[in-house]
A and B are shown apart, each in its own frame.
Chain A
Amino acid sequence: MRLSKRSAALIATGLTGAMLLSACGGGDDEGGTGGSSAGSDTFSIYIGEPENPLIPGRTSETEGGQVVDSLWTGLVEYDNQTNEAAFTGVAESIESDDATTWTVKLKDGWTFHDGSPVNAQSFVDAWNWVAYSPNAADNSYFFSTIAGYDDLQAPTDDAGNVTGEPAATQMSGLQVVDDLTFTVQLSSPYAQWPTTTGYTAFYPLPPSFFEDPEGFGEQPVGNGPFQAEEAFVPGQGITLTRYDQYGGEQPANAGSVEYVVYAELETAYTDLQGGNVDIIDTLPPDAIASAEAEFGDRYIETEQGDITSLGFPTYDQRFADPNVRRAFSMAIDRQAISDAIFNGTRRPATSFLSPVVNGHRDDACDVCELNVEEANRLLDAAGFDRSQPVDLWFNAGGGHEAWMEAVGNQLRENLGVEYSLQGNLDFSEYLPKQDAKGMTGPFRSGWIMDYPVAENFLGPLYSTTALPPGGSNVTFYSNPEFDALLAQGNSAASDEEAIAAYNAAEDILIRDMPAAPLFNRLNQGAHSENVDNVVINAFGRIDAAAVEVVG
């Protein structure tokens, strides 16, 4: 009797083990994580796990954006050297007489990877889908400049609950004229609009997308130099192959590219050293100092279109006086922080604009340089109370503590003001606090451009229309004079006039200092001996089509 019970137990245990073993026998052994450059015509690129499905209207971050950029070509493309819009994409021309009504003419012969043609309808349908709020697309707001956008937004009550359906499903500002022509009516003039259309949000979508957006997000069908012949594997990555019927002038040089998902940048770097991944577009902090020596001409360093600033809570009594804000800006030695904390991989900002955009001036900001004497004079004149410590805010987990502390130390040394670091909040708490005027002192503010236009560094961050909750103007700066100059630049007839107006607007910012520009980032990457012609563009993304396999 006892024996039988014991053997039953033994059998049960054995079975459990067998079940577990069989559960792990099958499965994804063929998966491509950490894949190497086995084939002769293929290479691999490191990415982090994309946060969104691979749909242009929903991808707003770098990881997924890198893959989406390889799968699509927009109306215009950005030149890797000059960062200006070039008509090498789907658009033949984008023209307007009044900067408000734009006529987009498409080139003939472009096709999606499933063979369907890229026509005016592919753009109009895609844009309407992204703008329509029930689709909850991250990039919806990029279409808010188009007439009729508001009719596609569902009504909400004060508590933020959806209370009904949007009034329309199509923006009145988009009209298909013929197969290869459509018109776009903006709600206000914007002369730079053609340049914005190279951004991810503006890519076209094939008819198959609208049948199954979910499945499409895992295995997208685009019109770019590479196509997805298999679906994205979460946690592992995706392999793209060259699209031979590509409509552009620059087809992919390599036969295929494998995007490999890594959880840790350090692991990806070790894999690069071991020759298992070919390109990484960013370096782990420990490796920055040694990578140039280790990789030689396989080390890449390029300018990124971004800016890091120290935002001021203009709503706070202590920081309401522009002279206080100018004094703080002049008390920070940007070069010293860049050298000490970032190994020189941040360029001290001399302007509110990134150096990669047209209109950047090297000597725009006279208060962005260290000037301790003048800073103290301004602070005294403003009657700033130095006995109270200043709170310095930043979000947790983003690697901001070291340099914010350096900023604090300089304020203490140069202005005699104590500081207190407030860096315990995650993004999910930090951002709502910013939106609710909760910053009790200067705060870290980062911005990566959406498209290489000077206006992108001004309007979304400092204009009255960009005040939260809908916009990113977290300093709550509002100045009609600035808004007017911005509008003047937006409706300017020529690029020169536009830039003159944008620079005038920037001068107002420098006078009022809602934020102190600190750094522009330099991208560091490296690649294996297997590949050549690796370019990291101003968006921090690799031009996958240009990469040549040599190994």
Chain B
Amino acid sequence: MGRYVARRLLLTIPVLIGASFLIFALVYALPGDPIRALGGDRPLSPAVVAQLRDEFNLNDPLVIQYVKYVGDLLQGDLGTDFRGRPVSETIARVLPVTIRLALVAIAFEVLIGLVAGVLAGIRRNSFFDNLVLVSSTLVVSIPILVLAFVSQFLFGLKLGWFPIAGTQEGLYSYLLPGLVLASGSLAYVARLTRTSLAENLRADYVRTARAKGLPGHTVVIRHTLRNSLIPVITFIGADIGTLMGGAIVTESVFNLPGIGREVYNAVRAQEGAVVVGIVTLLVFFYIFFNLVVDVLYAVLDPRIRYD
């Protein structure tokens, strides 16, 4: 197991190098002149433009720019954005916000999604099962933008249960945005759990377990659920990676200064250093959480081994 994890972690190095170069090339390939856009309707003076292009190596060919970037990176310097703010500081500022939001969202997915899915799976075709079916279909079909604005208006402004926007009330500020962000995945988790559980409940080993005279909850939780969780864990693992990428819509509507907003603005302003720094980090997260999921398989299903 240890060797397996080490090998997987080592494999991330070439992936990260390749990914960062790819992102770098993509930002480079964006049409337009970011320095010209800084001035807006009133252009900057030519000497200032030349100075800025020089400072950010914008006159060099792609490969030279990348080599200079990696050279700085190896010395622990992630570069600066056009306004002179270090990218490392930007990441340190936006990452905690996104992590909190993602964790709250995952917590909702697991708590509500899993419980609803298990209950629906046990009582197939009951009223509750149908309720989960209908409500999850409904939630999945509403665009998150609509969900965000409606819940902000209803629970934030009209009812006043949650803060309308911002992060000033600590983790409480993340509850409503987290729920909105989780809503789609939550519905998937419920449906996945329900289907997987319902299928496994008909399996031979479950009948055997029941025949042994084991109590019902032991059969469901210890025997069936654990086996049914593999697809669910796969989904949640991939979802953590996605959530870490930030949620542009949710972060913007609820005014949470997280990664999604930062990357969106950086791409628009063609801030190469910011985009490459943050997105490479996200690629790492994605790989890391997939590794965690693979390791979890071995915990859930003893038949899976990595040696």
- On whether A5 and B168 interact (CB within 8 A), knowing A162-B54, A263-B255, A429-B32, the answer reads no
Inter-subunit contact A61/B43 (CB<8 Å): no
Interface: A9 (CB within 8 A)? yes
Interface: A336 (CB within 8 A)? no
Interface: A468 (CB within 8 A)? yes
30 CB contacts below 8 A, A to B, read A8-B2, A9-B299, A20-B99, A24-B96, A24-B99, A24-B100, A34-B166, A53-B83, A133-B51, A136-B51, A138-B39, A138-B44, A153-B46, A153-B47, A160-B49, A162-B50, A261-B255, A264-B255, A266-B149, A267-B152, A267-B165, A270-B152, A426-B268, A428-B34, A431-B43, A432-B33, A448-B41, A468-B43, A469-B46, A472-B41
Contact with B along A1-18 (1 / 0, CB 8 A): 010011011101100100
List A25-58 residues whose CB lies under 8 Å from chain B. 26-35, 49, 51-53, 58
Shortest Cβ distance from B242 into chain A, in angstroms?
Answer: 16
Contact with B along A134-160 (1 / 0, CB 8 A): 111110110010000000011010011
Most buried by B among A9, A31, A276, A450: A9
Interface: A95 (CB within 8 A)? no
Interface-located stretch among B131-139, B179-187, B246-254? B246-254
Quick one: closest A residue to B44, CB to CB? A138
Residue numbers in A under 8 Å from B32 (CB-CB):
425-429, 432
Give CA–CA (A446, B44) in the complex, Å.
Answer: 16
User: In the complex, which of the residues A51, A429, A435 contacts B31, with contact meaning CB atoms closer than 8 Å?
Assistant: A429
Inter-subunit contact A144/B45 (CB<8 Å): yes
Inter-subunit contact A274/B50 (CB<8 Å): no
Inter-subunit contact B41/A161 (CB<8 Å): no
Residue numbers in B under 8 Å from A435 (CB-CB):
36, 43
Interface-located stretch among B7-15, B118-126, B290-298? B290-298
Contact with A along B143-184 (1 / 0, CB 8 A): 000000100110011001001111110110000000000000
Interface: A21 (CB within 8 A)? yes
- On whether A34 and B45 interact (CB within 8 A), knowing A6-B299, A8-B1, A431-B37, the answer reads no
Contacts A27-B96, A274-B157 known; list 14 others, CB within 8 Å: A2-B302, A13-B299, A29-B170, A35-B166, A58-B83, A138-B44, A156-B46, A156-B47, A260-B166, A264-B255, A276-B164, A428-B34, A428-B36, A472-B41
Shortest Cβ distance from B273 into chain A, in angstroms?
Answer: 15
User: In the complex, which of the residues A51, A156, A432, A448 contacts B36, with contact meaning CB atoms closer than 8 Å?
Assistant: A432
Shortest Cβ distance from A70 into chain B, in angstroms?
Answer: 20
List B239-283 residues whose CB lies under 8 Å from chain A. 251-255, 257, 261-262, 265, 268-270
Count of A interface residues, CB-CB < 8 Å: 84
Q: Which DSSP category, helix, strand, loop or mixed, fits chain B's interface?
A: helix
Shortest Cβ distance from B16 into chain A, in angstroms?
Answer: 19
- On whether A51 and B42 interact (CB within 8 A), knowing A13-B295, A162-B51, A270-B164, the answer reads no
Interface: A344 (CB within 8 A)? no
Interface: A214 (CB within 8 A)? yes
- On whether A154 and B45 interact (CB within 8 A), knowing A263-B251, A428-B37, the answer reads no
- On whether A31 and B168 interact (CB within 8 A), knowing A133-B45, A140-B44, the answer reads yes
Quick one: closest A residue to B89, CB to CB? A234
Residue numbers in A under 8 Å from B171 (CB-CB):
29
Interface size class of B (residues with CB under 8 A): 35 or more
Inter-subunit contact A60/B33 (CB<8 Å): no
Inter-subunit contact A160/B168 (CB<8 Å): no
Residue numbers in B under 8 Å from A273 (CB-CB):
157
Residue numbers in B under 8 Å from A270 (CB-CB):
152-153, 156-157, 164-165
Residue numbers in A under 8 Å from B36 (CB-CB):
428, 431-432, 435
Inter-subunit contact B168/A32 (CB<8 Å): yes
Inter-subunit contact A28/B167 (CB<8 Å): yes
Interface: B215 (CB within 8 A)? no
List B27-83 residues whose CB lies under 8 Å from chain A. 30-34, 36-55, 59, 83
Inter-subunit contact A262/B165 (CB<8 Å): yes
Quick one: closest A residue to B240, CB to CB? A20
The number of inter-chain residue pairs (CB within 8 angstroms) is 224
Inter-subunit contact B39/A274 (CB<8 Å): no
Give CA–CA (A58, B83) in the complex, Å.
Answer: 9
- On whether A9 and B33 interact (CB within 8 A), knowing A33-B257, A271-B164, A427-B40, the answer reads no
Quick one: closest B residue to A273, CB to CB? B157
Interface: B94 (CB within 8 A)? yes
Q: Which 4 A-B pairs give the minimum distances between C-beta atoms?
A: A34-B166, A235-B257, A428-B32, A133-B47
Shortest Cβ distance from B307 into chain A, in angstroms?
Answer: 9
Residue numbers in B under 8 Å from A32 (CB-CB):
168
Contact with B along A248-276 (1 / 0, CB 8 A): 00000000000011111011101101101
Interface: B103 (CB within 8 A)? yes
Residue numbers in B under 8 Å from A261 (CB-CB):
255, 257
Interface: B93 (CB within 8 A)? yes
Shortest Cβ distance from B107 into chain A, in angstroms?
Answer: 11
Shortest Cβ distance from B298 into chain A, in angstroms?
Answer: 6
Interface: B195 (CB within 8 A)? no
Shortest Cβ distance from B58 into chain A, in angstroms?
Answer: 9
Contact with B along A412-455 (1 / 0, CB 8 A): 00000000000001111101100100000000011110100000
Inter-subunit contact B255/A267 (CB<8 Å): yes
Inter-subunit contact B59/A460 (CB<8 Å): no
Inter-subunit contact A134/B51 (CB<8 Å): yes
Contact with B along A92-113 (1 / 0, CB 8 A): 0000000000000000000000
User: In the complex, which of the residues B2, B45, B255, B262 contacts A140, with contact meaning CB atoms closer than 8 Å?
Assistant: B45
Interface: A471 (CB within 8 A)? yes
List B93-115 residues whose CB lies under 8 Å from chain A. 93-96, 99-100, 103
Interface: B90 (CB within 8 A)? yes
Inter-subunit contact B43/A472 (CB<8 Å): yes
User: In the complex, which of the residues A35, A60, A162 contacts B168, with contact meaning CB atoms closer than 8 Å?
Assistant: A35
Inter-subunit contact A159/B99 (CB<8 Å): no
Most buried by A among B45, B85, B171: B45
